[in-house]
């Protein structure tokens, strides 16, 4: 009988340990959502950063349920092409992600990024908490204080809404189709414009 009781206690302790471990893992990850035009081009800059666990392209900020790429890219759904970043805040800060975000967009335009035009290609920070809201606004104020640009900073800061992951063929497009990806970036003038805007900080 005592052996059975011992085994039961041991099983309970293992279960409690697993639950605590799962809870700790969940508590040490956070999410960030950014839009900066074509989500293919916004995935790569974050994907290799230490502390970033995953980057998912998708759609957010609109009204249509379960939108498709064809619907979003055509306009009218209110959604923006965006990326959802899952990260470990003990290894990389939200402020660092914001810095990388700014250095990968043109903040002087609205409803377009580089060769892509329309509300679906707007640049925006979608905050998931009041702390993210504050940090996003602080980062935008900092960009303004640098007086780097003659134009106003038009990038939006919006509360996050449902994020819809993009279709499988869009995920890690830069890895799956490297030649097409590089051709698109060059043809769209993205890297050239980023260098004009940010100099050596472009993309970082």
Query: Is the pLDDT reported for residue 157 higher than 80?
Result: yes
Q: What is the pLDDT of residue 3?
A: 46
- What 3-state DSSP class applies to 153? coil
**36 located within any domain:** yes
Residue 192's domain comprises 27-201
**16 located within any domain:** no
Q: Which of 12, 38, 115, 188 is catalytic?
A: 38
**66 located within any domain:** yes
**1 located within any domain:** no
pTM assigned to the model: 0.86
CATH number at residue 172: 3.30.1060.10
The yes-or-no answer on residue 12 being catalytic is no
**11 located within any domain:** no
Q: At what angle do helices 39-47 and 94-102 cross, to 10 degrees?
A: 130
Q: What is the pLDDT of residue 141?
A: 95
Q: How many domains are contained in the chain?
A: 1
**18 located within any domain:** no
**21 located within any domain:** no
147 — pLDDT class (breaks 50, 70, 90): confident
């Amino acid at each position: 009988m005592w052996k059975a009781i011992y085994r039961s206690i041991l099983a309970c302790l293992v279960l409690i340990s697993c639950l605590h471990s799962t809870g700790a893992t969940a508590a040490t990850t956070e999410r960030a959502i950014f839009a900066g035009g074509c989500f293919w081009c916004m995935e790569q800059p974050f994907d290799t950063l230490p502390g970033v666990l995953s980057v998912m392209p998708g759609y957010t900020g609109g009204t249509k349920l379960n939108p498709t790429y064809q619907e979003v890219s055509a306009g009218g759904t209110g959604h923006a092409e965006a990326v959802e970043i899952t990260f470990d805040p003990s290894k990389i800060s939200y402020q660092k992600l914001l810095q990388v975000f700014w250095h990968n967009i043109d903040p002087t335009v609205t409803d377009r990024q580089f060769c892509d035009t329309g509300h679906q290609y707007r640049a925006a920070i979608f905050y998931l908490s009041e702390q993210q809201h504050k940090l996003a606004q602080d980062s935008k104020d900092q960009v303004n204080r640098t007086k780097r640009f003659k134009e106003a900073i038009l990038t939006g800061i919006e509360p996050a809404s449902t994020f819809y992951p993009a279709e499988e063929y869009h995920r890690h497009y830069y890895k799956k189709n490297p030649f097409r990806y590089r051709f698109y970036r060059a043809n769209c003038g993205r890297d050239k414009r980023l260098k004009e805007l940010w100099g050596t900080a472009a993309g970082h």
